[in-house]
Chain A
Amino acid sequence: MKKILTTCPYCGTGCMYYLVVGDDGTLLGVEPSSEHVVAKGQLCVKGWNAYHFVNHPDRLTGPLIRRNGKMEPASWDEALDLVVSRLKETQTVHGNNSVAFFSSAKTTNEENYLMMKLARAAFKTNNVDHCARLCHSSTVVGLAATFGSGAMTNSISCMEEADCILVTGSNTTEQHPLIGSRIIENVTKRGARLIVADNRKIRLARLADIHVRWKNGTDVAFLNGIMNVIIAEGLEDKEFVKTRTENYEELKKVVADYTPEKTAEICGITPEEIIKVAHMFAKADKAMIVYSMGITQHTHGVDNVKSCANLAMLTGNIGRPGTGVNPLRGQNNVQGACDMGALPNVYSGYQKVTEPDIRKKFEKAWNVDSLPGEVGYTVTTAINAAAEGKLKALYIMGENPMMSDPDQNHVREAMEKLDFIVVQDIFPTPTTAYADVILPATTYAEKDGTFTSTERRVQRVRKAIEPIGQSRTDWEILCDVARRAGYNGMKYNSAGDILDEIAIVTPIYGGMSFERIDQIGLQWPCPDKEHPGTPVLHSAKFSRGLGLFSPAEYRPSAELPDEEYPFVLSTGRCYFHFHTGTMTRRSQLLDREERFPYVEISPEDAKELGIADRSWTYVTTRRGEVKSMAHVTDVAKKGVLFMPFHFEEGPANLLTINALDPVAKIPEYKVCAAKIRSA
């Protein structure tokens, strides 16, 4: 038996623990690290079970090629040659941008870096993106515009020292449990004030000083309303506004209209609630905003994020411990996948592909000519382009768009239209069902590398067991594809060598190396080998110089309830499962907890419709109908349904709407119109 220190593959909190490896090379459990800065000897239920799926018999163990409509075993040579020849053929006939690459927030930084390098250097396209598009693309855009850096401004430890915490659109104890627990500890032991602004009565709401249950999608109005009160009563941090920000007059002008009365009407709450929240937040010495998908997944996601940033700047709550705008990243390495430039507009470290000097820098570093300069497709626009016949081939690494993207029928149509699909994954998924080639990859337990947590902490992932079957690490597969595509710039002896290259071309990762993060990870920006890392961003000045107030007007969601579809349907994750369920539904205890697709409905609505707890229902939207088990609970507000998207047999994303934020292209998963009836 041996114990290998690694980083959890579930949420972005970034807990490290030891994988317990049996003498026969199978995983037998986990032991928390008592020395780790975040875990501190603790774990959540998913962490405790994060070993379980690795040795599951469903693992993909050899390459598969579609022949006569059936997936058949093939050699690695055969499969990879086919991948390269079909992608190249497609590009020859339809142009370089007829091919797109989906990278993965579940894979390592090194692998994300290589995926974008493969797309750009070997296949000469910027059509590379990953699932951050679906969760925090509005954060990246919104915070980059206001602060100059699209990441969590503070550290997880700051949760312990805030005097007031505004949690909005984040079910923190379920989705980032060891961050949620710090909020609970701060509230119950230190007496911090807690404001929960969330439609659902989440656990934190039970401990909150104020729980505001506004109408889904009225976030901008609510935040503007708070700022209206703060400015009207002179509670803003005048010094901070004067010395650290610009465009204040514009903010003042826009929020002037959002009086408590008007805001209350839009949000479906009382003016007193808005005034109370404004007072509590503005009067705290250290006030912090914590948000997640409830803010980002809207057609006005970027406006929501900018409004959070406006509120923090207005009250001077940026650049100090215990404050900040803190988007909690949902995946283990979604921060890293963004940092690595698995995005259609930037290289690693958010260096723009549209800037000729940056392209030149990468051409030199990668030893290639003429890197493409136009911004590529996003995950969401790539699917749209495929449905329209503009995109012809798709290489998907560790993503499951059939389950994760909005409007499943639309995604299905796109998948069916594509000429060629490669899926590189660890298990069969509804997406592999459309693949022409399936490449078996290893899990996090079978490889070395790094993940970057939500607090920008770059941490080690370590190989604990040998690859299962013929599976190979994603980075080795990508290097092999590059070589076969005739590109010689992707040869590495180890994952550590890749991080060394990342450090050279990526200023914010300049000081990172396996050696430096051997025991404790470092937080970027970490520009050189002596730099200690950066726990709090924007301390003396913002990344962009002055913070830019970016006021927004309230815009209603794309599809609101009406007579035919009287409910708001909101989607998300539950505590026990993760995203499309690929791993958690193959984990004994986690799957036992939530075995069926379900919909949360309020006791009032359930009573009115004659729906009993744990009885079957049909939930219907304009996109389709899904059979789902009713969870009658006061977590749900009257008029609102909530469904998690983990279940293949009851996919919530069959129902969601493919309406995107105009800038970030993030889908509106949090609001669409629905109806429900007993099955």
Chain B
Amino acid sequence: MKILTIQEVESFLKAIESDYDVQAPIKLHDGTRALGKLDEGALAIAGGRIPQKITNVFFPQMETVLTAGSEKIELPKPLSKPLLVVGFTAQDADCLKFIDRFYSENYRDDIYFNKRDGAVIVCVSGRCGVDGEFLKIAGENCDIELISDGRNYLLAAYTGTGKSLAEKTGGVEADDDLIEQLQKESDALPTDDLELIQKASKLLLEEKVPDEFWVNISDRCIACTSCNLACPTCTCFDVFDRKLDGKTRRYRMWDSCQLDGFMREASGHNPMGTENLRTRRRIHHKLAADVTRWGQITCMLCGRCDDVCPTGIGIKSVCRAMVDKYGSL
């Protein structure tokens, strides 16, 4: 396994830009970290997960579904180059694995796979979280992983594409002891959050959480929809049309189950017509309904909804309150 300086990582990414549309964590104008092209801001791989859901590179806030002219219907064009996306954390890679599954089972979502097929996923882990916090080593669900030792990056390639790309990098061979040490650190990371969410899931599946709990939580919800819009496993969208220059363009855009209109029927009746029902749904969906439907909890504990919620009712804090209150039942 090679070890690269950050400059060598950057050179590597620049070198493959001719073959890939490289998207990596960069610093925007005021220092906010976000995905972008390398010439749009300084590379900022370290610093933890990027604030926005990284899966938006394949499922953006708004995108064209089709364009209907007077004679034909045009579908979105295939990408000119495949995407290479740097910056997935181990949790993000888990999220991606789930939405790949979601968008391919039953009905294959061509618009999603138009971008996703052929895309190279690069995870980032090791001692490069916020203030040097250790990020879990993914070890799977990606093509390449950059594992930080606090200064440089070990480059682990897991897939055929990843391995052939790895051959193009500079760097020197890494010391086996270092690899082992980093893996040990990763394995020793606390699993409190995982245990918490599993306990919360169990409480919901066993129907031990009364309505009153959701009323108290939803009293604090200001319906900003950020929890949904920041969540890498939220996949709901709304479809709308716009007529311009003699053509009708159909778009889809992120939707939110925290909005009354999300489930409201034409009659005005709404099976999710109260805030507490909607708040319950947000948590219940990921921790109970998806367990039944997909066989897994679909919150991967990335923490974005906890960061983005203005009133402190992201999924982890709600689970904590739930387990504190009903965990001994």
Contact = CB atoms under 8 A, between A and B. Distances in A.
Interface residues of B, number: 43
A29 B311 contact: no
B6 interface: no
Nearest to B275: A203
Interface stretch (B33-41, B106-114, B185-193, B285-293): B33-41
Given A185-B312, A589-B255, A34 B223 contact: no
Interface string A152-182: 0000000000000000000001100110111
B63 A28 contact: yes
Interface of A: 1-5, 16, 18, 20, 28-36, 41-45, 47-48, 51-52, 55-57, 173-174, 177-178, 180-182, 184-185, 188-189, 203, 206-207, 519-520, 575, 588-589, 592-593, 595, 613-614
A20 B29 CA distance: 13
Ranked nearest first, the 4 interchain pairs of A and B with the lowest CB-CB distance are: A29-B61, A181-B310, A614-B268, A592-B261
A188 B37 CA distance: 41
B219 interface: yes
Contact of B219 (A5, A16, A56, A203): A203
Interface string B202-235: 0000000000000000011011111001000000
Given A28-B63, A44-B224, A181-B224, 11 more contacts: A1-B36, A18-B32, A20-B60, A29-B254, A33-B30, A35-B30, A41-B32, A48-B226, A188-B312, A519-B30, A588-B253
Given A57-B242, A589-B238, A36 B61 contact: no
B225 A48 contact: yes
B259 interface: yes
B240 A519 contact: no
Contacts of B307: 41
A181 B219 CA distance: 11
A34 B33 contact: yes
Contacts of B40: 2-3
A3 B261 CA distance: 29
B236 to A, nearest CB: 11
Contacts of B31: 35, 519
Given A3-B36, A28-B61, A520-B30, A56 B242 contact: yes
A203 B313 CA distance: 15
Given A177-B310, A184-B311, A185-B311, A31 B34 contact: yes
Contacts of B311: 181, 184-185, 188
Contacts of A55: 242
Contacts of B37: 1
A183 B223 CA distance: 16
A575 B260 CA distance: 12
Q: Chain B's interface: helix, strand, loop or mixed, by majority?
A: loop
Contact of B51 (A29, A41, A184): A41
B316 to A, nearest CB: 15
A20 B61 contact: yes
Nearest to A206: B219
B308 interface: yes
B62 A45 contact: no
A593 B229 CA distance: 17
Q: Which of B28, B307, B311, B312 has the most chain A CB atoms inside 10 A of its CB? A: B311
B226 A43 contact: yes
Given A28-B60, A57-B243, A589 B222 contact: no
Nearest to A178: B310
Contacts of B256: 589
Nearest to A56: B242
Contact of B225 (A31, A45, A181): A45
Nearest to A42: B310
Nearest to A519: B30
B244 interface: yes
B246 to A, nearest CB: 11
Contacts of B5: none
Interface string B303-319: 00001111110000000
B198 interface: no
Contact of A48 (B224, B240, B261, B312): B224
Contacts of B260: 593
Contacts of A203: 219, 222
A20 B34 CA distance: 11
Nearest to B36: A3
A474 B219 CA distance: 42
Contacts of B244: 57
Contacts of A47: 224
A575 B222 CA distance: 9
B225 to A, nearest CB: 5
